[in-house]
Amino acid sequence: MKNTKKNLSSTLNRMFDLKRLNFLMDKFDNPQNNLNNVIHIAGTNGKGSTATFLKEILEAHDLSVNIYTSPHLIYFNERIRINKNLISDENLINILEEIELKNNNNPITFFEITTAAAFVAFKQFPSDINIFETGLGGRLDATNIIENKKLTIITKIGFDHEEFLGNKIEKIAKEKAGILRENIPVIIAKQSKDLALKTLVNNAKELNSKIIQIDKISKDTKLGLAGDFQYENASTAFTAAKFLIPSISLPKVKQGLARTSWSGRIHRLTDGTIFNLRKNITVIDGSHNLDGAIVLNQYLKKQSFGKWNLIIGMLNNREIKDFVNIFKNHINQIYAIAIPEQKNSLSALDIKNKLDEFGFNTCTSNSLENALKKADDKIPLLITGSLYLAGYALKFNETIID
């Protein structure tokens, strides 16, 4: 076991070596350390929703906001948003070409290049607030070369990317807590695992990082994102906004929360190709881990549409049986597909073989379109299992991302 842990740590440090990105950013005079009011968010679930809620609250108070999130669903530009707009193709291409030139063929990862582009873009197009969401972890995440932070936020910690972060919740929490900085306040969202909370609190105390207590949003507040769990994310965002805006306006907070949208998260279609094809309830959700499945189960429990058909695709590093088992009682029929354009996707047959033991007559389909045609349009439909599948489905639906 000791050797396994040692090998895991060695692999993580080797794959995500911040020296590469620090070396590259030196050539740009380190824009990441010269940005206004940096908010850094890590966690397993809820990072994107929390970041977007916070962005909308701040913008409702007439503050300009730059925000960096991942992954994108349809367009690469979704990762870098400059003051309410996706970064333009022209600006993105110019920045990426400059990065390529200055990197001079040195080893670098896709996420490091993307993060470098965000640093350069946010410096070129200043805003009042700059929000950064980590990718995989925290401690060795490319975004964590930022030293000057105004506030850090840790959302709910769960099991994900165990091949990199480990299979102990304390280890995962410690990696996420790597974004904390000495004497910089932190907001810790509600945690479902006591050991995760204990680890985060201990790390904050070691760094003298004041823990800001969560100020809860009332369940009567209208949110732009579906699901009761979003009140936890909204509360975290509201707490951050109160820290940033001492004279915060509650009507403006409500305005921001109500207009928040985040594609691919319990996203009910109201127009587009899939909507027009089915003329019935269709929900797309990018959940891919157990916490995401729990959220889906809670959502499905509250609906009054009876059982749902399920179109599912998943990457081969996910436990699909455990995922579907959580909400299987709400499922009528399963249609398995490989995620298009993803070489690490489970095949439709793999999915069928893994799920047949649940007693479903799982159908395989060679495409999303084929699965949609097979699925009874008189029964509501859920498409889930991966953000990549969610993105592909939204693109197929011709959903506009802004």
**The pLDDT of residue 7 is above 60:** no
Query: What does the pLDDT read at residue 49?
Result: 93
Per DSSP, what are the bridge partners of residue 66?
82, 130
pLDDT band for position 162 (50/70/90)? very low
> What share of residues in the chain are helix, strand, coil (percent, to 5)?
45, 15, 40
User: Closest by alpha carbon to 131, among 152, 147, 160?
Assistant: 152
Instruction: Give the tens place of pLDDT for each residue, 55-103.
Output: 999 999 999 999 999 989 999 999 999 999 999 999 999 999 999 999 9
Region of poorest pLDDT, from 1-5, 31-35, 305-309: 1-5
Q: Where are the beta strands (DSSP E) in 159-298?
A: 186-188, 211-212, 267-268, 282-284
If phi over 0 gives left and psi between -120 and 50 gives alpha, with beta otherwise, what is residue 10? alpha
pLDDT band for position 192 (50/70/90)? confident
Query: What does the pLDDT read at residue 3?
Result: 45
Q: Where are the beta strands (DSSP E) in 77-159?
A: 80-82, 85-86, 129-133, 151-154
**The pLDDT of residue 161 is above 70:** no
In the chain, which segments carry CATH 3.90.190.20?
267-396
- Which of helix, strand or coil describes residue 210? coil
Instruction: Give the tens place of pLDDT for each residue, 111-140.
Output: 999 999 999 999 999 999 999 999 988 999
Superfamily of 267-396 according to CATH: Mur ligase, C-terminal domain (3.90.190.20)
Q: Residues in the chain, how many?
A: 402
Instruction: Give the tens place of pLDDT for each residue, 349-399.
Output: 999 999 988 888 899 999 999 999 999 989 999 999 999 999 999 999 987
Mean pLDDT of the chain: 91
Query: What does the pLDDT read at residue 366?
Result: 93
Query: What does the pLDDT read at residue 274?
Result: 94
Query: What does the pLDDT read at residue 360?
Result: 81
Superfamily of 2-258 according to CATH: Mur-like, catalytic domain (3.40.1190.10)
Query: What does the pLDDT read at residue 2?
Result: 40
Q: 187 CB contacts (<8 Å, ≥6 apart)? A: 151, 152, 153, 154, 211, 212, 214, 236, 239, 240, 243
Q: Is the dihedral of CA 281, 287, 288, 293 positive or negative?
A: negative
Query: What does the pLDDT read at residue 204?
Result: 98
**The pLDDT of residue 9 is above 50:** no
Query: What does the pLDDT read at residue 390?
Result: 94
Query: What does the pLDDT read at residue 12?
Result: 47
- Compute the distance between CA of residue 151 and CA of residue 131 in angstroms, rounded to an integer: 10
Query: What does the pLDDT read at residue 167?
Result: 62
pLDDT band for position 164 (50/70/90)? very low
Mean of pLDDT values over 261-288: 90
Task: State the pTM of this model.
Answer: 0.88
Query: What does the pLDDT read at residue 399?
Result: 79
Higher pLDDT among residues 15 and 249, named by residue = 249
**The pLDDT of residue 47 is above 90:** yes
**The pLDDT of residue 6 is above 90:** no
In the chain, which segments carry CATH 3.40.1190.10?
2-258
Instruction: Give the tens place of pLDDT for each residue, 216-269.
Output: 999 999 999 988 889 999 999 999 999 999 999 999 999 999 999 888 889 999
**The pLDDT of residue 163 is above 60:** no
pLDDT band for position 5 (50/70/90)? very low
pLDDT band for position 16 (50/70/90)? low
